[in-house]
Structure 1
Amino acid sequence: MDTIAPNIGPAFKARKLGHFRDAAGYERYRRAYDRAMAALPAPGATLDVPTGFGTVRAYRFGPEEGVPLVLLPGRTAAAPMWEANLAGLARSRPVYALDLVGEPGLSVQTRPLTSAEDQAAWLASLIDGLPEEEFHVLGLSIGGWAAVNLAVRRPAGVRSLVLLEPGATFGPITWKVVVVSLGSVLPMPGALRRQLLGWISGGADTSEDDPVAALIASGMRDFAPSLPLPEYPADGQIAGIDVPVLVVIAGRSIIHDPGKAAARARRLLRHGTVELWPEASHAVNGEFPERIEATVDAFLAKVEAT
């Protein structure tokens, strides 16, 4: 039983806090969330970590020893979206999977997020609240942006970054992303929302028979975020990142120009390993889980050996 009440109802809109639109929407979302969580390995611990902007839900998986890997999900997703990856990534190290503050999930926002500095501050506070002293941080899509934003503004405790298709980071978002984002803002038929999700996911099955797809669809329908637009990092900010960074860009991505994004990452990152996977879409984590596991494991092993 959760001890922290979720934000439900329009009163939270006036306070500029992410919230579920109504009680029925929260119940729909919670059923989808619990169903998706059931497909994950059993977490070793479930934590609700207080920060200055709300309480962060985090799940710990894997062994006790090692430098932990913190997973940051994409927009309108949550910790269960890592179903395809968790068992593999947690085989050799501890893994924390988070629900982002201000996004659908079981984290509960208590203070408005108004800037990139605020976004970095809650994540840094979360890391400070975990028992380990240093962490690898892996983010997908907007989670990749959040990882870079953390390293730029609050780098303490960050050992390395792994960025899977980071949005608004190495290339500006495209008009296609704006169209897809309308699914979380405007009321629309479920079939159209699934079509938009399939578009950004390279044609992947987005029917609600799939637990993760159902979770994301409910997050788009039933949760109202209140977040600032991601601040596009300047060249100097990226060049100033002083930890090893692995970047995976999908050749079939619609969120940015893949070639230009990979080129900017290669040009600016001082300690960067940049891979362009031509056959992958923005849903790369579900398309290539074994390849991601092998690539990430090799990268982190190299980081920890130096």
Structure 2
Amino acid sequence: MKNIFFLFVFLLSLSCANEFDKYKERPKYITEASASDKAYFEAYDKTLQLWDVSYEELYIPTTDGIAHVIVSGPKSGEPLVLLHGMNASSTMWYPNIQSLSENHRVYAIDFLLEPGKSYLYKDMESIDKVIDWYKEVLFVLKLDSYHVIGASRGGWLSVKLALENQHEIKSLVLLSPAQTFSWIRPSEGLLKNIVSLLSSKEKRIEQSLKTMSSNVDNISDAYLEQYYIGTEKDSVNKFLINMKPFPNDVLKTLQMPVLVLIGDDDIINTEKTIEIVKTLPKGKGEIIKNAGHFLSIDQAEEVNKKMLDFLNNLPD
């Protein structure tokens, strides 16, 4: 009887260990990619070498496409979901992943409608379908209680997701969330980006990076190469027009702790963002010095510390 019990425990542990193995096989759109896609995937993998932590890649079939999820950190750690910024892919977290995955089980999801390793089956009709897609991915991952970190457009999506999952999302960290608390203000940087539309695509990308980062030279060459190739591939941003600031009374319904960090040279946010955040029931906001919109790269060490201090000191 005792031997049967131990056999049952062994088989159960083996089953749990292999629970997501079926999602580890690389799909044909990766293994049999076109020349342009292959170049992008190779650049993506080169950036992944910067992570400095062990990870596994999952390819999860969903109703609308295949979700590529990078998983790292201890299996016993609290789940932490990462939603990247526009055209950035999950590799944008390379300066942050080591700190974030030290005590958390981290799930970085590539957005389905942009360059990355996720794959879209069919057109999505609305922004609500995008949120439904995230819910489906999280359901397959069996995440019923988790923290979320969202950057830029990923910050807006994080809030949208949180408003519909008040009891599942334990906390929100938003890094320069785009169009979330207030409209993007007119600025010199924004004007330069508009003027650059008359230039070559390479010049437009270069100008965009200069207005988004306080120190472009600090960005890894490997990541820049991936970013350039990804931006050359026309991404689908059909729902950008739907990204409008959430009304204050709606934001105040968020019951989970919320931390918002913005750069002092942020083209997207101003002090007004921080003022609004502090009106939330459990809202906290700070401005990071010498940082632009890409603050998680510009000031990675300080941003990592702020995020971990917040996550590690949440009330039970």
- TM-score tier by shorter-chain length is 0.7 to 0.9
What root-mean-square deviation, in Å, do the aligned CA atoms of Structure 1 and Structure 2 show? 2.7
Q: Which AA in structure 1 matches 2:26?
A: D
Would the aligned equivalents of 1:113 and 1:227 in 2 still touch at CA under 8 Å? Answer: no
Structure 1 residue runs of 5 or longer lacking an equivalent are 9-21
In 2, the alpha carbon distance for the partners of 1:244 and 1:191 equals 40
Aligned-pair CA distance for 1:241: 1.0
In 2, the alpha carbon distance for the partners of 1:223 and 1:27 equals 15
Matched, 1:219 2:230: yes
In 1, the alpha carbon distance for the partners of 2:238 and 2:108 equals 21
Larger Rg: 2
Equivalent residue number for residue 112 of structure 1: 123
In 2, the alpha carbon distance for the partners of 1:282 and 1:65 equals 33
Aligned-pair CA distance for 1:72: 0.9
Aligned-pair CA distance for 1:112: 2.6
Equivalent residue number for residue 26 of structure 2: 2
Equivalent residue number for residue 194 of structure 1: 206
* Percent of aligned positions that are identical: 27
Matched, 1:164 2:175: yes
Return the match for 1:63 from 54, 74, 82. 74
Equivalent residue number for residue 125 of structure 1: 136
The alignment covers a number of residue pairs equal to 287
Equivalent residue number for residue 263 of structure 1: 275
Equivalent residue number for residue 34 of structure 1: 45
Aligned-pair CA distance for 1:93: 1.5
Q: Deviations over 1:94-120 (max 9, x none)?
A: 111121110110001123333332222
Q: Deviations over 1:179-238 (max 9, x none)?
A: 75999x99824244222212211242288x711122112111123314312233122221
Q: Which AA in structure 2 matches 1:259?
A: E
Q: Deviations over 1:127-150 (max 9, x none)?
A: 111134311000111111111110
Return the match for 1:145 from 140, 147, 156. 156
TM-score (norm 1): 0.84
In 2, the alpha carbon distance for the partners of 1:86 and 1:168 equals 25
In 1, the alpha carbon distance for the partners of 2:273 and 2:230 equals 28
In 1, the alpha carbon distance for the partners of 2:291 and 2:173 equals 17
Q: Sort the Cα spacing of 1:34 and 1:280 in 2 relative to 1 into closer, same or farther, 3 A.
A: same
Q: Deviations over 1:23-50 (max 9, x none)?
A: 4432331221121112223544221123
**Secondary structure at 2:254's aligned position in 1?**
coil
In 2, the alpha carbon distance for the partners of 1:296 and 1:272 equals 14
TM-score (norm 2): 0.82
Equivalent residue number for residue 145 of structure 2: 134
In 2, the alpha carbon distance for the partners of 1:75 and 1:216 equals 10
In 1, the alpha carbon distance for the partners of 2:195 and 2:131 equals 25
In 2, the alpha carbon distance for the partners of 1:138 and 1:4 equals 30
Structure 2 residue runs of 5 or longer lacking an equivalent are 1-24
